[in-house]
Amino acid sequence: MRVVLSGGGTGGHIYPALAVASRCAEEIPGTEVLYIGGQRGLESSLVPKEGILFKAIDITGFRRKLSFENMKTVMRFLKGVRSSKQMLREFKPDVVIGTGGYVCGPVVYAAAKLGIPSIIHEQNAVPGLTNRFLSKYVSTVAVSFEGSEAAFPEAKHILYTGNPRATTVFEADKNKGFESLGLPKGSSIVLVVGGSRGAKAINEAMIEMAPYLQELDQLSFVYVTGDNYFTPTLEAITANLGGIPRNLQVLPYVHNMPEVLAATSLIINRAGASFLAEMTSLGIPSILIPSPNVTNNHQEKNARTMEQAGAAQVILEPDLSGNILFETVKEIMQNKTRHDSMSESSRRLGKPEAAHLMVQEMRRLAGSVHS
């Protein structure tokens, strides 16, 4: 099978696409993959490292107010469609998949216009502008959240798959996670993640919370700051306490996140869709602090879906403090009944077979063309 993938801007769009590529290689030996991304997006560095053929187009997103820049974006979109058509004609894919981000717009639209079977995957509970636009043209819309199908009234076919990233994490080795952190197997780990770039509000709360951590010395706290906040965090905690608490590790980045997640007992995080998929595939309870600085406030909607299912506790950023965060961790981790209930609820939301379902749909669409 020959597959074109497109998705970019953030890891939340890129990692699901890479999960699909990995699953294709396992289930359909000999699969050839081309990834079409943006020139300036994170995908331009991440994808080639995976040994996947990468080509780029020049595309930017629309601004939310009228501006001359939006006229330039329209021109880039049209140029991107032309470039994508040329790439697709040369590669001759059986199916084209878009996993979000504005780079998908011209690529998937070009595929639809060329009559190539196409799929878009929506990670969030509230779809983005690009996927809403593309849903009218593609063969299949795949969604991560059950019940979000109604957001695509003009779609030809909708499939609830979950997020393909869940498959990658579900298969991770938790013992390697413990080992990489230097912790004994079976340790109770509270993982705090501010995102790849970090999160100011979470960082401030963690600095405030640090003096309380020794009260929960049976827990191991791991705070992944993001590069921007690593040095300031170490300096602030050291200045306040004269050192880092024995049960706290402060790290700028974790390169084996699936394995660390597999070893985690509770996670504190934003509410990006890919991370939620990873957590639920493993049944990890969570404290979610949705970012207020995202389109359509989609992170809070993602988080509320988790909370309503009993899998998460939501703390909105204006309500966040070190004391509130500590008391929430304490209440969950010292109440085994609640922790186990949240874990089970999280697991029920998980779709570890998500990447397999995507590959099945790809096969179905490719077969319908060749039959």
The binding site for UDP-N-acetyl-alpha-D-glucosamine comprises 10-12, 124, 196, 299
Query: Residue 26 — φ and ψ, nearest 5°?
Result: -75, -45
Report which residue type is found at 257: M
Strands, E, within the chain: which ranges?
Answer: 2-6, 32-38, 53-57, 95-98, 118-122, 140-143, 158-160, 188-193, 219-224, 248-251, 264-269, 286-288, 312-314
Report which residue type is found at 331: E
CA 96 to chain centre: 20
Q: What contacts 274, CB < 8 A, 6 or more positions away?
A: 11, 12, 15, 16, 123, 163, 165
* Strand order from edge to edge, sheet including 264-269: 248-251, 219-224, 188-193, 264-269, 286-288, 312-314
The four Cα atoms 211, 216, 218, 220 give a dihedral, to 10 degrees, of: -50
Q: Which residues are annotated as a binding site?
A: 10-12, 124, 196, 299
With contact defined as beta carbons under 8 Å apart, do 55 and 76 qualify? no
Give CA angle at 139 (110, 82), nearest 5°: 0
Q: What contacts 52, CB < 8 A, 6 or more positions away?
A: 5, 18, 21, 33, 34, 35
d(CA 102, CA 13): 10
With contact defined as beta carbons under 8 Å apart, do 350 and 162 qualify? yes
d(CA 244, CA 250): 8
Strands, E, within 58-111: which ranges?
Answer: 95-98
d(CA 246, CA 243): 9
